[in-house]
Structure 1
């Protein structure tokens, strides 16, 4: 790489959003653009001012005079990977919640950096502390910090915050009321369980107010979290939430876990069904899958590997194996699926020792997407469809496909250079050679830049 390339990479590590003025071209690469078209051998991708300006075979692309050229002969280029469902602030242990209070945005940036380091250039955070997600998103978008592009929902409308029946109620007796209220309100912003006492019309008005807080999309509870089989919101309330979201020009998704939850959310008009594959006791019937296809509803799914399932409890194995059956059936039925992980930074200091070592962890940011893609391979999903589930399908589901999801002229120059062909083996997604975001080469060696969680080590015994 020449001095200019090194300068651009250095600038990007400091100023994540600023594009270098000189055009950049990748040459002699195999381009897998995720459109479904055949890969382009001996391909060239030209980018300028953060966007792709030309892409195609070497014989048909003119490289601008003065462009910085990077020869990647023998390499493969795919669009930047995307995760439809992450929780960048996933650590609900008391140590993180209390000791690092005031640093939540820094933890979220760290998660976005770990995602970017492993080829995920865009993530969609579907539950977390609103002020800190907004701060982290804006820091990355402004160029103050480097990281994967963040879109976020904040709270799951109808759920309470982290120290509640919906999540970690066990901590409630250990904390004073002021601390509990502080933590929960940081998440809920007036959209917690208290909404469920209101009329549907009142809920709609409060969701109007929440949508105006500059969240990127809305997510609400159709089913419970700790009580997955139960309906969390009435049909009228769901209708009001979806209408408020669409009136605010936001995509709306529903947290679902039951067949009736899926049905009611679709009747309300949602754009996305979140982890609709997790219906622990039932297989999704063909008529419900047909309705998903007919309505054009996207489903974010949580694939796991067989090795991971072997490390889980009997209950978890049951619902994860059911999930994989649903995923395969939905894929065959033509339901548009989006790869997701529920991922965040895994704390290296667990408070309890698991019964078995966790293999192919789904919820570890920077690892979960690799395991999810391997899980799809294990159920014989077509490799191109698997790639699309992690790229263009996510972009379409969130209605950002004008800018993201494929390697096409006019879109953001987000891409991953791999040492091996991902269409021949899912393990090749791990062979990351280079990551480019908004037309700039990322210095992967510098990520994360200021770790708070991922660098913690277990101390030796005294």
Structure 2
């Protein structure tokens, strides 16, 4: 750490969709944890004086990625998930800390956790903030709220609730623990053996109780949701974000756009057969996931057509090696290739999430005053989302945490 000036780079961020073009032959002045100046090289160097220079060798410099659907304690049905479920609290904490370190190294400098076991996410966040562990900035929902027997009820990453009073208590309990947002399961999903993906799991008064309570405390609510009727009902009541949206319709997508409800599509979860094979998930889950793929992709296209704000989220662990890259980058590629395009994909992975989190004064762009959460890559992210496969340099809060030489194997 320490003050420095980053040179020999082209600065690009999500504001490219809003008319702010790349800055070629740029320099970035970093003072402490934050960016102090950005602009043409000579202009910034005059201000920087004789500060240490970090030469990026012609790389493209962007904000660090923000993964909005993260489970560092993920345990799907099958032998891989069983190994995580069987961990004691100390093993689990170390497992999650290793995942956080690997997540940061692949260029994800912020995550939104949307259901973690035993509130270990809060301890991990404290350790990262204190400098005792390496990892991204963590925004977390704590344990997700679920009806008795509902989606994900089997694990310690959810809290079973029933009735409006039960869901109010559930929301308050997560806020008491330190949750930045609330996650609620309003339908069935891929990983629930004794449910369908279109099984509704909350009554309107239960959903309203969650939303009213969270919003009163200044927290947003995101919902695991597949079927259009359940999503429509929740959007009407004021839902802030939909996870997955497997079966969207044009009408529901239009309602989401009109009310400002965002979508984290997690396209990977219906096109990741090799990941399921690696974890040994049961055949019923594998078949359900892959069968939902075409409809999932169609719903995503409907959301784009309606103007819904879409945000990057992998559901798979952000760092997981997958199809020649990591899960975060592969998800961003799917989002771009399925109609979003590279510039908007960059925004969906940086500035868009920062705005949803209410953190855009601190993260999401390369601007003075923001944290120096920066990543560098050899290819142009405005030409292709696959440019993020070439990430070779990562900085978080002014500290360089990865520095591969140009051309090194990724």
Q: Is the counterpart of residue 51 in structure 1 residue 34 in structure 2?
A: yes
Q: Identify the residue that residue 448 of structure 1 maps to in structure 2.
A: none
Q: Identify the residue that residue 296 of structure 2 maps to in structure 1.
A: 323
Task: Show structure 2 runs of 5+ residues with no match.
Answer: 277-285, 405-410
Q: How many residues align?
A: 382
- SS of 1:435's partner is strand
Q: Identify the residue that residue 40 of structure 1 maps to in structure 2.
A: 23
**Counterpart among 260, 263, 281 of residue 229 in structure 2:** 260
Q: Identify the residue that residue 25 of structure 1 maps to in structure 2.
A: 5
Q: Deviations over 1:362-411 (max 9, x none)?
A: xxxx7111211221343243210011111111112222222111111211
Measure how far apart 1:426 and its partner are.
2.8
Richer in strand (by share): 2
- SS of 1:158's partner is strand
- SS of 1:35's partner is helix
Q: Identify the residue that residue 131 of structure 1 maps to in structure 2.
A: 119
**Counterpart among 224, 235, 249 of residue 188 in structure 2:** 224
Q: Identify the residue that residue 335 of structure 1 maps to in structure 2.
A: 308
Measure how far apart 1:315 and its partner are.
3.9
Change (3 A) 1:359 1:118: closer
Alignment check: 8 A CA contact 1:34 1:407 kept: no
Instruction: State how 1:63-102 maps to structure 2 within 5 Å.
Output: 63-91=47-75, 93-102=81-90
Task: Show structure 1 runs of 5+ residues with no match.
Answer: 1-7, 9-19, 170-183, 348-357, 446-462
Q: Which runs of 4+ in 1 moved over 6 A?
A: 309-312
- SS of 1:337's partner is coil
**Counterpart among 335, 338, 342 of residue 376 in structure 1:** 335
Q: Is the counterpart of residue 420 in structure 1 residue 379 in structure 2?
A: yes
**Counterpart among 152, 157, 163 of residue 145 in structure 2:** 157
Q: Identify the residue that residue 215 of structure 2 maps to in structure 1.
A: 246
Measure how far apart 1:44 and its partner are.
1.3
**Counterpart among 236, 240, 248 of residue 271 in structure 1:** 240
Q: Identify the residue that residue 411 of structure 1 maps to in structure 2.
A: 370
Matches of 2:375 and 2:318, distance apart in 1: 22
Measure how far apart 1:244 and its partner are.
0.9
Matches of 1:27 and 1:444, distance apart in 2: 14
Q: Deviations over 1:178-213 (max 9, x none)?
A: xxxxxx5x434xx31xx21x3x14532442233111
- SS of 1:203's partner is helix
Q: TM-score, normalised by structure 1?
A: 0.76
Q: Deviations over 1:58-110 (max 9, x none)?
A: 24434323422112241100110011101101135333333544221211111
Matches of 2:382 and 2:218, distance apart in 1: 36
Q: Identify the residue that residue 396 of structure 2 maps to in structure 1.
A: 437
Change (3 A) 1:323 1:151: same
Bigger mean CA deviation after superposition, 139-148 or 367-376: 367-376
Alignment check: 8 A CA contact 2:319 2:327 kept: no
Q: Deviations over 1:217-266 (max 9, x none)?
A: 11112212322212111111111111111112212111111101211211
- SS of 1:442's partner is strand
Change (3 A) 1:251 1:380: closer
Instruction: State how 1:90-239 maps to structure 2 within 5 Å.
Output: 90-91=74-75, 93-158=81-146, 166-167=151-152, 184=155, 186-188=156-158, 191-192=159-160, 195-196=161-162, 198=163, 200-225=164-189, 226=192, 227=195, 228-239=197-208
Change (3 A) 1:165 1:218: closer
Alignment check: 8 A CA contact 2:271 2:290 kept: no
- Aligned-residue Cα RMSD (Å) equals 2.7
